[in-house]
Amino acid sequence: MSPTASNSPPAVLDAALFDMDGLLVDSEPLWRRAEIEVFGRHGVALTEDQCRQTQGKVIGEVTKMWFERHPWPGPSPDEVALEVLDAVDALLGTVSTAMPGALTAIAVCRARGMHLGLASSSPHRLIDTVVHRLGLEGRFEVLHSAEHEPAGKPDPAVFVSTARQLGVDVSRCVVFEDAPAGVEAAKAAGMVCVAVPEQPVSDLSPFRRADAVLVSLVDVDDALLDRLGAAAVSPGNG
């Protein structure tokens, strides 16, 4: 049974930062669907595995990468990025669903009095779409997009900026991430990180720097957060 607010020990972790795509919302298949369709129109035949290789990156970086490898005539990489965003936005607003345990994990962190931030590689327009679609208005104190940073994940900037906006120290933040690039970003920021791979994986080496690896957000509870909090203050952590 989870401890009540009256007998819980003081929280060592002050804030929980949540990624969005593939963690809170089942959007990665929608991203792959949109990328395959849009890039295909411009003569770049991507596979699902190729799309997974860029998971967690800002879409502008993705289009520039594929343009460098397979230049296409016509629209610029930035224009193609907008085409992908339009396609994803439409899908998110109509067919997206919450990942298992997403709403419960948010509630567990809120019940502990933790500050909550959403830190995503997606632009704000998609963040707003997902927040509305999942009924998450008012759950997060900060909604922050890597589009406002000089670099996306695995650069730690999006997490560092979110912590700053929340007014908490990076060492007292736990990040929930589904992508290896996000795990690298969280650890580079000096934060505790929980990896929740979007799909079952047999090779966990891409997530080796995570402080915990979960099958789903259903496994987020007070015991896990207590354990992570203790690890955060242990000598040599990070």
> Does the annotation mark 21 as catalytic?
yes
- 220 burial level (CB within 10 Å; 0-12, 13-18, 19+): buried
Total length of the chain: 238
Which pair of structure tokens corresponds to residue 205? 């080496």
Which pair of structure tokens corresponds to residue 39? 């890039």
How far, in Å, are 49, 83, 114, 191 from residue 108 at the CA level?
Answer: 34, 37, 9, 19
Nearest to 114 by CA among 193, 182, 12, 213: 12
| Active-site hit among 19, 155, 178, 211 | 19
Structure letter (DSSP) for residue 155: S
Query: What residues are paired with 192 via a beta bridge?
Result: 174
Nearest to 173 by CA among 99, 101, 225, 95: 225
- In the three-class reduction of DSSP (H, G, I as helix; E, B as strand; rest coil), residue 36 is classed as helix
**167-172 long-range Cβ contacts below 8 angstroms, 24+ apart:** 167/115, 168/14, 168/15, 168/115, 169/14, 171/232, 171/238, 172/12, 172/13, 172/14, 172/15, 172/232
Name the residues annotated as catalytic.
19, 21
